[in-house]
Amino acid sequence: MKLAIPRGIIYHSLLDDMKWLVTSLFVKLDDKPVVTMFEACFARLLGRKHCVAFPFARTAIYYALKHQNFPQGTEIIMPPISINGILDVVLALGLVTVFVDIDKDTLCFDPPQLEKAINAQTRAVIITYLFGMVPDVQKLVAMCRTQGVFVIEDFSQCLNGKFAGQKLGSFGEVGVYSASSIKTLDTYGGGLLVCDDDALAQTLRTDQANLSPPVRTHLWRKIITDLIRNVATTRLVFHVAVFPLLGLLGKLKPNSVLKHTGDRDKEMITELPNEWFCAYTSLQAQVGLEMLVELEKLDRERLQNVAEIKAAVTSIDFPRGSEGGTPVYWQLLAYFSDPAATQQRWHGNKIDTATTSLLKISDLPAYPYHGDTPNADRLYSNSLFIPCFPGLDAGDLQRIIRALNDPS
């Protein structure tokens, strides 16, 4: 029997999710030496001097920007596709967002447009590496450094990606990783900030120490969310229950399943939630320490799957990346002229796919700043995820390749 193929997976095992859920009921959550050990291991992985753990990546970005003491109205250049939580913290600091379009092949800032956007009011740039693709980050950072612009790298979707042999997250003043659900290093949430600046790291550690104590119910919710997603994407459960449900939803409400996990909340918040300022837990750090051991092995398997798919498929418009870049393909995607029809055809072959559930934050009506970003529009509307995750067998890969090569 050919089991339906989900579009992605959780990088924990079901047993791990259950183990950590039970452990979270009674274990100490504020064991600082465990957090410190994980921070040191993560900094070493990136080749940086310091790592400071926060509850969310957006929290890390908030503090990194806050300590630059930028004047109100300072311009911050942002990617057009991201999460609105990052947009919320930038606006909470009284800063102005400027959106620069992406390059269709690197899924990161288009260099000429970035250079044009930087002006005397620009004080910071958030470089975001989408879906594990790698741009010419040396060129992007050089543009910023020439103008004295503070660079934050968001490498949440490109952990272990490299340019010219150097890890992403180690080029800018600050690198930030979101260790949230479905990431390759998923510690049930958390934002890991890396840097080399001793003074900045010390200041950020003061912020870290002043965070509210961790809330156990917040952690339970994150573990349970992963557990539910893990059960749902287990091959037999996905084949028997989830995939038929997606098919039914597609018939009852066409295009309702085109988005990755449905629409996110697009409303602007007026006050940053208290949960964004609760401490990262030592249980999460322990999860991270265990996951780091398997990270490169899982990366290699995913990259082998991508290499096999791309070698056998020549007619599909895959993003090509940059010369000198080593992508990790957190998600493999490609552009399609009619993504809804392609999704329906693949579903007929029992292969799930969808467009991204990230937001096109450059045109959210509830927010004050917008941008003209046609390449991002195309990525948002016309790209589909192609399953490439670890655990696919030879038959799965051949079925995916046949679907990609089918022109009907």
Residue-level pLDDT, tens digit, the chain, 408 residues: 799 999 999 999 999 999 999 999 999 999 999 999 999 999 999 999 999 999 999 999 999 999 999 999 999 999 999 999 999 999 999 999 999 999 999 999 999 999 999 999 999 999 999 999 999 999 999 999 999 999 999 999 999 999 999 999 999 999 999 999 999 999 999 999 999 999 999 999 999 999 999 999 999 999 999 999 999 999 999 999 999 998 888 777 766 667 755 556 788 998 999 999 999 999 999 999 999 999 999 999 999 999 999 999 999 999 999 999 999 999 999 999 999 999 999 999 999 999 998 999 999 999 999 999 999 999 999 999 999 999 999 999 999 999 999 876
Any residues with CB less than 8 A from the CB of 157 and at least 6 apart, and which? 128, 129, 130, 131, 132, 183, 330, 331
Tell which residue, 92, 122, 144, 152, has the closest CA to residue 368.
92
pLDDT of residue 254: 66
Grouping H, G, I as helix, E, B as strand and the rest as coil, residue 370 is: coil
Strand (E) or helix (H) holding 98 = strand 96-99
* 23: enclosing H helix or E strand: helix 14-24
Give me the helix-helix angle, 32-46 and 282-312, nearest 10°: 30
Domain boundaries, the chain: 1-408
DSSP assignment of 212-272? BPP-HHHHHHHHHHHHHHHHHHSHHHIIIIIHHHHHHHHHHSTTTTSBSSSPPP-PPPSS-
Q: What are phi and psi of 262, to 5 degrees?
A: 90, 175
Structure tokens, 43: 């900094």
Task: Report whether 64 contacts 174 (CB < 8 A).
Answer: yes
Q: Which residue bears the tokens 């029997």?
A: 1
Place of tokens 């659900």: 181
Res 218: pLDDT: 96
First to last CA, the chain: 24
Q: How many whole angstroms separate alpha carbon 89 and alpha carbon 66? A: 10
Residue 257 confidence (pLDDT): 62
Tokens of 112: 């000429």
Answer yes or no: CATH 3.40.640.10 is held by domain 1-408: yes
Q: Residue 263 and residue 255: Cα distance in Å, rounded?
A: 12
- pTM of this prediction? 0.96
How far is Cα of residue 207 from the mean position of the Cα atoms in its chain?
A: 24
DSSP 143-176: HHHHTT-EEEEE-TT-TT-EETTEETTSSSSEEE
Q: What per-residue confidence (pLDDT) applies to 256?
A: 62
The closest of 238, 232, 182 to 350, measured between CA atoms, is: 238
Query: What tokens appear for 209 in the block?
Result: 């120490």
Cβ count near 139 (within 10 Å): 15
